[in-house]
Structures are given as C-alpha cells and as structure tokens.
Amino acid sequence: MPAYLPRLVDDQLTRGLRSAGAVVLEGPKACGKTTTARQQAASLVRLDASPQLRVAGQVDPGLLLAGETPRLIDEWQLVPEVWNAVRHSVDERQASGQFILTGSATPTDDVTRHTGAGRFSRVRMMPMSLLEQQRSSGEVSLRALLDGEAASSAGSDLDLLGVAQLLCRGGWPGNLERELGDAINANRDYLATIAGADIVTLDGVRRDPRKVSALIFALARNAGTYVTNRTLQADITGDGQNLAPRTLDSYLDALARLWLYVEQPAWGQHMRSSAQVRRAPKRHLVDPSLAAAALGATPEALVADPETFGQLFESLVFRDLSIYAQAIDARVFAYQDTAAELDAVVVRGDRWMGVEVKLSGRAEIVDGAASGMLRLAERMRTPPSALAVVTATGPSYRRPDGVVVTSILDLGP
C-alpha cells in the first residue's frame, strides 16, 4: 500500500469527532474519503462490499453500529436507515466521536432531515489540491494574505505543459502513481460510470446516460463561467440530445448530489455603488480533470488552445482555493457587476480578498488584472485585506501597488 498523503480535512475530521457524536465525511467518489476516515477510525464496515450486509442492515441497522469507536460506516447512503440508527445511538451514548459516516452521494432530504443539534458534524471533502499532491510549495498562505501579509517565492521550474499535465491528471489519489495517459483514461471511465450507473443507483430514477453525458459535456465546455440553463440546453441540443427545463434541473440536482457538479456562489455584500450585481453562480465540475476528460483534451491540446486552458485553469484555482479556504474557515465566491468582475472572492469573517486568475504572469497581463482590481476595490464599502493575481507559473511577490502575484504552485492554506 502506498504511504498515506495527509489531507487538509484530517484536522477538520478530528475537530468534528471532538465536537459531535458523529461526523459525516462527504464528497465525490474516489476522492479519498475512506482512506482518510480509516486513519482515525477504530473499526469499520464497508456497505459497498457486501450485498448481504446491506440487506441485513436495512432490516436491523443497529447491527452495523457494533464495534470500537470511532466506528466507520463507509458508503452509508446505501443503507439510509443507518442515519436514524446512528442518531438514536448518539443520543443514548451521550459521547463525542462515536461514528464516521462516509458517503459519495447525498440521499434525499427526507432521510437526513432529523439531524439534531450536536449529533452530526459535516465535513466536505474534495479531490486533492496541488499542495496535498506535494506539487505546491505552500509558501504563499491564504490565511496570511487575508491577514494582510505576503510571502515571496522564486517559484517552481514547472512550465505551462507541466501545469496542463497536473490539470489533466486531476486530484484523484488513485491517479497519482499512474502514467499520465492511464490517468486520463481513468477520468474518462469515471465520467462513463457516473452517466451509466452511479446517477441511476443514486435514487432509482432512470436517467438517459446519453443525456447525462451531454450535460456533463456542456458543463465542461462552460466550466468556470456564469452559464445559464438556457445555454446548457442549447449545448445539449447541439450534442443531439434534448432536456426540458424541469428535467435539466433534475439532472443538475442529481450531479450535485453525487458531488460532481459544484457552484461558486455570487458575492456582492460590500458594493457601494448602485451597479447591478450578478446573483447567479459560476458553475464547475468538481475537478478540472473531469472537464478535460469530457472535452477529450490532452495537455498538449490545452497548451495549443489558451482560451480553453485558461478556462479550465480557473476551475483548477477554484478547486484549490475552496480546499484551502475550508481549512481556514473561509469561503470562496465570485463577483461581477455591470462594470467589473473578480474571478474569486475569498471571505473569512469580516475580511475579504479579491482574486484574478491568469495563465500567464507576463507583466502586461498582470498589470491589466491588477489595475482592474484596484479600481473595483475603490468602489467597495469595505476595503480588501488583499488583492491577488493567481498565475500558472512564475515567481510569487508583492507589487509596489500592493497587489500580490502568486503562482498556484506556491499557494496553500
């Protein structure tokens, strides 16, 4: 077995076990939930490994709870009756850290509506960031930036092709030791499994795999943008399929419950002017490698197509920012009004940081991004704690105007 690479959610899982009777660790399939949970579990039961155990658990879910604590119940959503059994057991035991429930799909709200204060703590897990893959130095701290500090770094010697390779490989633990071509094929197989099987076993509703694949392609084609449902429908139609508006909502909800589709919510709380602020979210697949796989893109093809590469690189930055922000109790938004936009806004308490994402760190590119952010910051009620341009490669430093330039290969929590 390969050595365990620490994850940023390790500490969050530890805190959850101290503060609640059970922790729900949830995220997309193959992001490493089971391996991470096993680092802190004293016993486990894997519901995806035994149909007989699932049948028995549906009849008597209590039998799944017996074992040393913390007891790991893996893929708990396969036996939804476990939820209330754990809830009642936590009430009876009156102790923290009794159970870890991992799940790669969110059941219907009816299953989990009776949560109970203090019983469950939720921890979201995503694919691995570049820091967790040991491909980022972490020398530029997101927390420090929000505190008004800045670090400098000479940067990595990786070039754009190397970054494209990291993007296409993705943050999937199982891909780290694979040849790049095999990792890309695994990502394509992942999408095929989602479309042909996982989205059906989610809730028993039959969905057309061709339409699911067309929707995933449309999301990939528009990754990191404010794409509307109408545009998604047009792209799906162009792919030879058709989804009615209500059906499209249902398919998007299913992909979100599988943690495959994520939204970057809009932010506009600090605007001073009367400019109209966009309220719709940006849309992403949970890892940019899936968008590359859906598009059939290779690293070489991305380098040859800077527009697509830049779009998917923004999704890569969003993925890593989201992981780092969660580790420091912050959130990641997007901002756009009629005059300007920010690719990302990191908010922690009463502090915020504006981020622009650029593939290139060339002076003329960074100058334009920095001047635009500075003009926008002047129109905000609350000044930013930091403004940053995140690039694919190059050094990390603070400019004379105060704007930080940092490579994604230097960024960390």
Write the pLDDT tens digit of every residue in 151-173: 889 999 999 999 999 999 999 99
The closest of 124, 95, 166, 143 to 36, measured between CA atoms, is 124
What does the pLDDT read at residue 248? 95
The closest of 98, 70, 63, 103 to 198, measured between CA atoms, is 103
Mean pLDDT of the 230-246 span: 92
The answer, yes or no, to whether residue 274 has pLDDT greater than 60, is no
The answer, yes or no, to whether residue 150 has pLDDT greater than 90, is no
Is the whole-model pTM more than 0.85? yes
Q: pLDDT band for 197, please (50, 70, 90 cuts).
A: confident
The answer, yes or no, to whether residue 381 has pLDDT greater than 70, is yes
Give CA–CA dist 383/342, Å, rounded.
Answer: 14
The closest of 195, 197, 221, 225 to 209, measured between CA atoms, is 195
What does the pLDDT read at residue 275? 57
What does the pLDDT read at residue 61? 93
What does the pLDDT read at residue 238? 87
DSSP 275: P
The answer, yes or no, to whether residue 1 has pLDDT greater than 80, is no
pLDDT > 70: what percent of the chain? 95
The answer, yes or no, to whether residue 110 has pLDDT greater than 90, is no
Q: Which long-range contacts (CB under 8 A, 24 or more apart) does 343-346 make?
A: 343/314, 343/317, 344/264, 344/317, 344/318, 345/267, 346/142, 346/146, 346/321
Burial label for 189, CB within 10 Å (0-12, 13-18, 19+), is exposed
For residues 114 and 386, the answer to whether their CB atoms sit within 8 Å is no
For the ranges 11-15, 129-133, 369-373, 376-380, the lowest mean pLDDT is seen at 376-380
CA distances from 154 to 215, 406, 412 (A): 41, 10, 15
Question: What type of residue is 410?
Answer: D
CA distances from 51 to 14, 48, 82, 99, 217 (A): 31, 7, 15, 21, 33
Kindly report the average pLDDT of the chain as a whole number.
93
Residue with tokens 């994604």: 408
Structure tokens at 183: 């990792």
Q: pLDDT band for 117, please (50, 70, 90 cuts).
A: low
For residues 269 and 333, the answer to whether their CB atoms sit within 8 Å is no
14-69 pLDDT, tens digit each: 999 999 999 999 999 999 999 999 999 999 999 988 889 999 999 999 999 999 99
Q: Which domains does the chain have, with CATH numbers?
A: 9-124 (3.40.50.300), 140-412 (no CATH)
Peptide bond into 281 cis (omega under 30): no
DSSP string, 366-386: HHHHHHHHHHHHTTBSS--SE
The closest of 4, 6, 9 to 323, measured between CA atoms, is 9
Backbone angles phi, psi at 400, to 5 degrees: -60, -30
Q: Which long-range contacts (CB under 8 A, 24 or more apart) does 230-239 make?
A: 236/211, 239/214
DSSP 2: P
Q: pLDDT band for 366, please (50, 70, 90 cuts).
A: very high
